[in-house]
Amino acid sequence: MDLGIKGKKAFVSASSKGLGLGCARALAEAGVDLVMNARGSDALEAAAADIRSEFGVNVETIACDVTTDAGQQAVLKAADGVDILVTNAGGPPPGMWHDWEREDFIKALDANMLTPITLMKALLPGMMDRGWGRVVNITSQSVKAPLAVLGLSNAARAGLTGYVAGTSRQVAGKGVTINNLLPGIHATDRAKSLDGGVSEKQGITVEEAKTARCATIPAGRYGTADEFGAACAFLCSQHAGFIVGQNILLDGGGVNATL
Ligand code: NAP
């Protein structure tokens, strides 16, 4: 399918690896020029070089922490005028509800709620002026079904979801859509780290932790970054202009709910 976005420009934050990289690659495959970002420059430069040579699009890289003021200023300078924004950042650490102090919540809110909001506030006006734009926020299945050990994620991402629910309906009339993609477990470094935590806590191997987790997923496996990226690229396509303010689960059926 021709996504109809060849020649457009996207900023994908936190995109040297994992789900962000999956989104960047799928957009590049559709002919979209990119601004990519991550803290570590080695993996970022390697990912950008692969994309340039595989898909022939322009890729600019900004190595910085997108959750900081300085990082946001740097990426926004490069992302000025983009048609597509995909927001992403690392997820908060696991723990239990009684573990976290104010500082932990502030950090999670900064990364997984206020950073995407800052990026949207900066880039939505240009998209609205030009009469076309797409925003996809990478959140989590924890928005629909809380994960006990990820209370910081449950809380911060719920805040972002509320902001998007209201904002998406205020910008849709200008040809700009905002939607959230909610990953269940996907085979990335984040999944390895979560499985490592389970292995340590339960005294089982990482492979056993992964097998046990797979048994809770109707699809019987972890998702891939390529599948996730393809869904993101579709939401950024010309065909998705009537999809507004939605929270779309990509979880292999893991969340057991009718709606
Ligand atoms: P990942 O494989 O660990 O990749 C994270 C990417 O983000 C890397 O490129 C990393 O590069 C970059 N990054 C992290 N923090 C950053 C920051 N502060 N500023 C700029 N770049 C940053 O993670 P993932 O699995 O793709 O997950 C992406 C998001 O989806 C996370 O918020 C995660 O919690 C959420 N999620 C993932 C899953 C899953 O199963 N994978 C499920 C639900 C939700 P650097 O380290 O070099 O910065």
Query: CB under 6 Å to ligand 1: residues?
Result: 14-20, 37-40, 43, 65-67, 88-91, 138, 140, 183, 185-186, 188-191
213 C-beta neighbours (distance < 10 Å), count: 18
Q: Where are the domains of the chain?
A: 9-185+224-250, 187-222
Phi-psi region of 252 (alpha: psi -120 to 50; beta: other; left: phi over 0): left
What's the mean pLDDT when you consider all of the chain?
A: 97
Query: Residues of the chain with pLDDT > 90: what percent?
Result: 99
Interatomic CA distance for residues 106 and 122, integer angstroms: 21
- pLDDT tens for each residue of 239-256: 999 999 999 999 999 999
How many helices and strands in the chain, by DSSP H and E?
Answer: 9, 7
pLDDT of residue 256: 95
pLDDT at 43: 98
> Can you give the pLDDT at residue 161?
98
Q: Whose CA is nearest to atom 19 of ligand 1?
A: 65
Determine the pLDDT at residue 90.
94
Indicate the top mutation candidate among 17, 144, 214, 247 to test ligand 1's pocket, ranked by most ligand atoms within 8 A of CB.
Answer: 17
The rounded distance, in Å, linking the Cα atoms of 25 and 32 is 9
The CATH number of 9-185+224-250 is: 3.40.50.720
Distance between CA 81 and CA 243 in Å, rounded?
22
Query: pLDDT of 43-58, one tens digit each?
Result: 999 999 999 999 999 9
Record the pTM: 0.97
Compute CA 120 distance to the chain's CA centroid, rounded to the nearest angstrom.
13
**Mean pLDDT on 91-108:** 95
Q: 255 vs 36, 183, 259, CA distance in Å?
A: 31, 11, 10
pLDDT of residue 109: 98
Q: What is the mean pLDDT of residues 65-71?
A: 98
Q: For the chain, state the CA radius of gyration.
A: 18
Per-residue confidence (pLDDT) for residue 35, from 0 to 100? 98
The pLDDT score that the predictor gives to residue 129 is 98
Report residue 174 CA to chain centroid gap: 23
Q: Closest residue (by CA) to atom 44 of ligand 1?
A: 140
